[in-house]
Amino acid sequence: MHYKQNHVYVGLDLHKETHTAVIIDCWNEKLDTIVIENKPSDFTKLLNKVNKMAGNLTPVFGLEDVHGYGRSLAVFLLDKGQVVKEVNSALSYSERMSYPTTKKSDDWDAYCVASALLRILDKLPDANPQDLYWTIKMMVNRRDAIVKALTTLTNQLHGQLCYHYPSYKKFFNDVNCKTALVFWEKYPSPHHLKGVADEELAKVLRKPSHNSCSTKKAKEILDIVKADGDTIREYQESRDFIVQSIVRDIRFKAEEIKVVEKEMKNLLKLLNYKLETIPGIDTVTAIALVAGIGDIKRFRSADKLARFAGIAPVNFSSAGKGKDKKSKQGNRELYAVFYFLAVQQIQVAKGNNLPRNPVFLEYYKRKISEGKTKIQSLVCVMRRLVNIIFGMMKNKSKYIMPVISLKEAV
């Protein structure tokens, strides 16, 4: 008897509030459909119904999202000693699209998950929802959400200032730097500057600018405001309030990002990784890598990690002819982190023209000299970074910069 005949296969379509489970046998015949709420009390009902349907056979559960909506169910089933497999959503999608006519429903999606589970049972990874990596992922999402909100607020501030101070971009290099925020809050529109002398304005701006704002700079700002002319309109006080409200919110978001990054650093310490020893990797980049990769033990080699991130090329061929092409699959968020990191490695300082990482810059230039485009050469840098980071995470080792003369690198 084939080993697949010893099981029934349970595919689950997972949602925030409800889950739909479809049970099939080894012949791909549908046995039952079960709909439950996403709560522990209903998980017990699901398991009891599946065990009753399975009889003497062993149930195998397939979940697409064991780190999101399906995480609680995956943890419950594993605690009960059940076999739980992680089914890539691309597999169930491929199963759904393999039929002459396609359809979309929770029941049908669950059936496609169960069918993919049956077809490649021995190749699917075991579900392994770990609390630490789950928490790290949520921490990264939280910071991303605050940064996005901060960007929205900055754009809103630009929108208000263009009415109040037409030449506001000449005042400061960054519209939401500490010095600028003090200015916008105290003088949200030009009429607040009436009677303000050069030295008085310089005194206000000196502390947030760490004494870098001179009386000359203050005079320049006042001269620009005067040259712009009168911009006061009706209900000016209400618009001034809006500017001040945005400033307060920007300050809050900026401080919250610092608090979140401090907690990120604490989480990274628990893993004892030394990713920050690579030039260009700070706490934010390091934890983004960990969030995207998860437990490094689930990858048998750096090649597997590269394929997961969509960095490894994919071969397209027919009748013995073809070539490797850039992959557009894989984890695109992780791909973006590696891309950003690769750019960091080949950067050269503007002042002294020294490379951040001479080894990678030399490697990048060598790939270009071999006939590769800049993008292809950058992907080569990304691929080498995958090898290095894979080894560092596996062995929890530091990055040691290879010795290379600056003459070769520049």
Whether residues 17 and 123 fall in one domain: yes
Residue 11 confidence (pLDDT)? 96
Residue 321 confidence (pLDDT)? 63
Examine residue 291 and state whether it is found in any structural domain, yes or no.
yes
pLDDT 10s digits, 91-120 = 888 888 888 888 889 999 999 999 999 999
Number of domains in the chain: 3
Residue 328 confidence (pLDDT)? 73
Residue 68 confidence (pLDDT)? 84
Cβ atoms 92, 68 nearer than 8 A: no
Q: Which domain CATH number covers 69?
A: 3.30.420.10
102: tokens are 């396609």
Whether residues 91 and 151 fall in one domain: no
Strand partners, 324: 315
pLDDT at residue 323 above 80? no
Q: Which domain holds residue 169?
A: 135-264
Residue 312 confidence (pLDDT)? 84
Across 363-367, average pLDDT: 94
pLDDT at residue 409 above 60? no
Sheet of 18-24, strands arranged across: 30-37, 18-24, 7-14, 58-63, 83-86
pLDDT at residue 331 above 80? yes
Angle between helices 131-164 and 283-293 (to 10 degrees): 130
Examine residue 175 and state whether it is found in any structural domain, yes or no.
yes
Whether residues 232 and 285 fall in one domain: no
Higher pLDDT, 329 or 341: 341
Whether residues 143 and 90 fall in one domain: no
Weakest mean pLDDT among 37-46, 319-328, 338-347, 385-394: 319-328
- The residue type of 290 is V
Examine residue 158 and state whether it is found in any structural domain, yes or no.
yes
pLDDT at residue 26 above 90? yes
Which one of 264, 282, 306 terminates a domain? 264
Across 221-232, average pLDDT: 93
Whether residues 87 and 23 fall in one domain: yes
Residue 86 confidence (pLDDT)? 93
Average pLDDT, the chain: 91
Which one of 223, 239, 264 terminates a domain? 264
Residue 320 confidence (pLDDT)? 63
pLDDT at residue 151 above 60? yes
pLDDT at residue 224 above 60? yes
Whether residues 226 and 285 fall in one domain: no
Residue 402 confidence (pLDDT)? 79
pLDDT 10s digits, 303-313 = 999 999 999 87
pLDDT at residue 326 above 80? no
Residue 316 confidence (pLDDT)? 60
Whether residues 36 and 77 fall in one domain: yes
pLDDT at residue 405 above 60? no
Name the pTM for this structure: 0.83
Examine residue 320 and state whether it is found in any structural domain, yes or no.
no
Residue 102 confidence (pLDDT)? 80
The percentage of residues in the chain with a pLDDT greater than 70, rounded to a whole number, is: 95
Q: Which domain CATH number covers 171?
A: 1.10.287
pLDDT at residue 406 above 90? no
Neighbouring CB atoms inside 10 A of 185's CB total 17
Across 141-159, average pLDDT: 97
Whether residues 283 and 400 fall in one domain: yes
Whether residues 186 and 302 fall in one domain: no
Whether residues 401 and 278 fall in one domain: yes
Residue 350's pLDDT band (cuts 50, 70, 90): confident
Residue 325's pLDDT band (cuts 50, 70, 90): low
Residue 133's pLDDT band (cuts 50, 70, 90): very high
Whether residues 289 and 204 fall in one domain: no
Which one of 114, 129, 144 terminates a domain? 129
Weakest mean pLDDT among 140-149, 166-175, 309-318, 401-410: 401-410
Whether residues 187 and 221 fall in one domain: yes
